[in-house]
Structure 1
């Protein structure tokens, strides 16, 4: 029994996040289209083209000791050879300890993401990724306390 396009897109989306968790830059590079691609990391400007996008992932991987994604609210929509995936990235990450130990404190972050895939002869490839932070109630309270 062959898998449906929705299952294949879900698999491609999961592979994207698992590859980042492993820090496998070479495999991550192969998940993106060769064409004009774009990426928006939370708080970053728009990155366009393979060079800029892949350089951003190389920097993230080089400066992140540990990262794990727990995906929730995953929805896949298909339109011909294009797929749109929306999801919530529940991220747990950490860097090296200040004293040079194994791992510093872990930090949690909530990001909503849109991943756009295109069907190719090699399977579904990422065309665009856009992540946006989700403000929590404590973030709102801090904003209200800050002088304008």
Structure 2
């Protein structure tokens, strides 16, 4: 069931809450919940695994809408590093995505950088950048000792 704006706002009280909402929206294929995590500023950016730079709400929304037309995204997330400096937080994560393709199920491994900004409306995402990787090329731990590329 989609969340109300009040429920979403309550969840976005920390970068961790915002990130949880982002991945929940992916899992549920919920476009409204997905867009609720993004800052209202038009300077938001998303670089999906394809490498195309998406800038602003219209482009980001259109990309997730197209993604969700096919299905929700089955993703497992491993947190590699979390940093917070004042009103900005950066999270590095490993994403294991399972997709259905015409050729059958496919596993995709990604490294992603999620950047959050504390706004008057709570913590909001301003950047999601995901790059393909092989599972053996990614190493690191949540304690901050990570090798990414």
Q: How would you bin the TM-score normalised by the shorter chain?
A: 0.7 to 0.9
Structure index of larger Rg: 1
In structure 1, the gaps of 5 or more residues are 1-6, 99-103, 138-148
Kindly indicate whether residue 51 of structure 2 is the aligned counterpart of residue 52 of structure 1: no
Kindly indicate whether residue 138 of structure 2 is the aligned counterpart of residue 132 of structure 1: no
Aligned equivalents of 1:45, 1:25: Cα separation in 2:
20
Contact 2:79/2:91, CA 8 A, preserved across alignment: no
Kindly indicate whether residue 84 of structure 2 is the aligned counterpart of residue 85 of structure 1: no
What RMSD, in angstroms, separates the aligned Cα atoms of the two structures?
A: 1.9
CA 1:121–1:136: 2 relative to 1, 3 Å? closer
Q: Write the mapping of 1:3-42 to structure 2, written as runs, cut at 5 A.
A: 8-35=14-41, 36-42=43-49
Detail structure 1 runs of 4+ shifted over 4 Å in the superposition: none
Aligned equivalents of 2:120, 2:135: Cα separation in 1:
42
SS at match of 1:112: strand
Measured after TM superposition, the shift of residue 73 of structure 1 is: 3.4
Q: How many aligned residue pairs are there?
A: 123
Kindly indicate whether residue 50 of structure 2 is the aligned counterpart of residue 43 of structure 1: yes
Contact 1:76/1:85, CA 8 A, preserved across alignment: yes
Aligned equivalents of 1:74, 1:13: Cα separation in 2:
13
Cα deviations by residue, 1:30-56 (Å, 9 ceiling, x for unpaired): 110111110100123211111111110
In structure 2, the gaps of 5 or more residues are 1-12, 137-149
Measured after TM superposition, the shift of residue 105 of structure 1 is: 2.9
Aligned equivalents of 2:83, 2:128: Cα separation in 1:
15
Aligned equivalents of 2:127, 2:100: Cα separation in 1:
25
Contact 1:66/1:94, CA 8 A, preserved across alignment: no
Name the TM-score, length of structure 2 as normaliser.
0.75
